[in-house]
């Protein structure tokens, strides 16, 4: 999908790139709906990415790839990661606007990547 969708790929497994230039699919089976429906699970991921909290191993990997993935329009994401990330971002846009705004300010302060896609993501009522 769009570059902005990469913001929370940790929930769908963005980590070390494989030889075929895709991020590992090691975490592609993460239960995204469970995480999104439980703030106790979701909040630590967000705080990690915002550098306001501790990070799990996958959280650290995510932070190391976010900027690249945004700039390259998720070129190294698997189809599962693209779909899952779209779900995550749609959830943040629609149900966690405070966190969404913080993430945008950190990773897309000029709005280059989010301005074209945010309206589309608002239509996806993930949950």
**CATH number, domain 32-125, options 3.40.630.10, 1.10.2080.10, 1.10.10.10, 1.20.120.1200:** 1.10.2080.10
**Residue pLDDT, tens place only, 67-120:** 777 777 788 888 988 888 788 888 998 999 999 999 989 998 998 887 766 777
Look at residue 54 in the predicted model and tell me its pLDDT. Answer: 94
Closest to 16 measured CA to CA, from 50, 58, 51, 45: 58
- The whole-angstrom separation of Cα 23 and Cα 45 is 18
Taking the C-alpha atoms of residue 79 and residue 38, their distance in angstroms, rounded to an integer, is 24
Q: Give me the residue spans of the domains in the chain.
A: 32-125
Residue 1 is predicted with a pLDDT of 44
pLDDT tens column, 8-62: 554 444 444 444 688 888 878 888 899 999 999 999 999 999 999 999 887 887 7
Phi and psi angles of residue 11, each rounded to the nearest 5 degrees, phi first? -70, -15
The whole model's pTM is what? 0.76
> In 84-95, which positions are buried (b, 16+ CB within 10 angstroms) versus exposed (e)?
bbbbbbbbbbbb
């Amino acid at each position: 999908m769009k570059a902005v969708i990469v913001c929370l790929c940790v929930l769908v497994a963005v980590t070390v790139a494989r030889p075929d230039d895709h991020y590992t699919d090691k975490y592609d089976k993460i239960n995204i709906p469970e995480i999104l429906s439980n703030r106790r699970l979701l909040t630590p991921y967000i705080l990690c990415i915002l550098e306001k909290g501790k990070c799990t191993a996958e959280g650290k990997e995510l932070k190391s790839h976010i900027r690249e993935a945004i700039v390259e329009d998720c070129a190294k994401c698997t189809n599962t990661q693209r779909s899952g990330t779209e779900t995550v971002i749609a959830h943040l846009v629609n149900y966690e606007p405070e966190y969404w705004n913080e993430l945008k300010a950190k990773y897309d302060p000029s709005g280059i990547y989010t301005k074209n896609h945010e309206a589309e993501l608002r239509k996806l009522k993930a949950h």
